[in-house]
Structure 1
Amino acid sequence: MKRIFTLLFVLPLYFSFSQTARNIDAKNHCYLIPDSMIISGLTPGVEHRVTVVANGTISAPMQGLFFMYAEQGGEHKYNFVPIGSSFLFKPIAGFYQLAPIYVDWSTKNDNSGSMTVSVALSDKYYVKDSLTKLLLYFNENSGDFAYDSSGNSNNASNTGAVITDGRFGKARNYNGSSNWMLVQDANSLDITNQITVEMWVYPTERKMINLISKEGAYQFYIFDDGTFSLGVYSGYPWHQITSNQIVPLNQWSHLAGTFDNTTKKFQLFLNGMKIKDTIDVNASLTASSEPLYIGRNGSANVYHMKGMIDETRISNTTRSFSPITSVANFKNIVKSPAVFKLSQNFPNPFNPTTTINYDIVQRSPVRIVIYDEIGKEITTLVDGEKEPGSYSVQWNGRDKNNIPVSTGVYYYSVLTGQEVQTRKMLLLK
């Protein structure tokens, strides 16, 4: 049966074409758009967000799409994307091919029809809509302000936070004691029905941090044990929801909190996953004439941010989220090697680091072990299951206790469920 796809690329790259998909894997019922899109002009090193929306008259239920991309002259990679969700990738070149693969796990003859797939490709994580009240990208290269992209002119003045490379483009780095940003009070920030506060954060110290503070209205903060919380104020005490999971140090995380003043329901999300919700019948959103602070508490001038903050959005709605998938989870699409192979390490002799390449024919457990001349096990480099493909691993000339080994002959073995191969190498200091 024919599968007709229309693929639309929007924001900021615009393409449109229609193709009849062809069967590329009858066993798994995969169908590929024959002509992939050539995308140029991407900014190397800047993370891009790809969002997928699909609708149409396919009679069988559709779980999602594989999106495949290939750098010019490079290997193909893919990621499975549930419909309505998104993934992130950071191009290392400005030229890419991007193509969807429709995967049908139902009976092949039951899914005739047509389908429209819309793909939004953007170098920013957030996109403005009518419910966005504050949207800071922090992409300024200089100056004392971060400019609001929501259309509400809620610009943030800066006190000491340093412009730096961020999660998407630029971000602001806070020193933990005397840096913050300030947004003056405005009607658009006096939200009294539904609210979502969300931001990308990179904390570098375990301490109490006020991420967003609008006294007398709402606050978003990280506790000194690493949990995070959204609170609303309608008279003392604050009413809040606090996570059971911690925000990791020294890496980017997306934090979001929502509150609905009608249902009295709080929700918290970490990297797109809902991790907690609760109902507090005594909680209420109220307006406040206080300014909004980023990176510190309000009038008390405490709980300063230590680390980086990137894209930040406040909305007059309770937004929903889907798990955030990074390019780190992409898998290689390569032709399976014909034979199991362990290559000679390079360089050889070496000091102190060398690379070992190996090919796996079928999915299997794999161990790579280093031995000395008398057969004593020095360290294990790989111990886990591998898909078919070509791999490489480095040895730094240290044992399992991270102690440098002496000059001499060493052996390395690759062991799978079916095969064992061993080669010799020489460490010269």
Structure 2
Amino acid sequence: MKKLLLLPFAILFTASVLAQVNTGEEAPGFTYTSLENEEVSLSDFDGKVVYIFFYGAGCPHCLDNGPITEEDIYQPFMDDTNFVALGLDTWNLSVSANQSFRSETGISYTLLLNARQSLEDYYGNTSSYDRSVVISKEGNVVYKGTGFVDTDTDQVIAVIEEELSKTITSAEPVDEFPDRISLAQNYPNPFNPSTTISYSLNKPSQVSLKIYNMLGAEIATLVNERQPAGEKTVSWNALSSSGSTLPSGLYIYQLKTGKQVLTKKMMLIK
């Protein structure tokens, strides 16, 4: 008789543990109060790529990895209007605990309180915190981390870049996008003291454009930011770049976008 009474309970308990969303499925919605005491819903960001950091405000490794979500994941994409980041406190701790968490981690994006239910909805348990999830602009889970944030940061960034590359706005018609990343020869070349460097991006990317001498020493950083797709132009004045007079000779300018690196030479003459 006892077995008959316990069996339904066991079945229900197992089902609740296993209930979770899988990659490719619609992201479970939620509405929580932010640290600033504002009501925030996932549906507020329909049409945007959403990054979620599931954390515990009193979790030691979440404190260690919080700065990674801010500096490596949020900041490179923060100027893209099609991107948003949210932190969900799955430990359901107090406002003061979350304020301390923000202060210690330096996180500047929105933190939501009492969000343990979402951890159950996404992971089927209450122990899978310090995880990253990415939601597409269509509202589907496109990435669901299985380890701590510091173990899959590169994968998360790659997924966000891929999803943002699919997001085309009316201000950026698809037929105006270059079909590849390219770096043009500077003009004029040789030059003294200023020259112009042009390059093309076929999708929104984190961009680095730097000048080096022939020994490999960095002379100047011209660009270090996330940029939308399109044609770009940057000017460089060799006399004012380093605060001192640069010698005549060959210099290298290098464009980095994600894993792609393009390099060309130019000549400064006096």
TM (normalized to structure 1)? 0.22
Kindly indicate which of the two structures has a greater share of residues assigned to strand.
Answer: 1
Kindly indicate which of the two structures has a greater share of residues assigned to helix.
Answer: 2
Larger Rg over CA atoms: 1
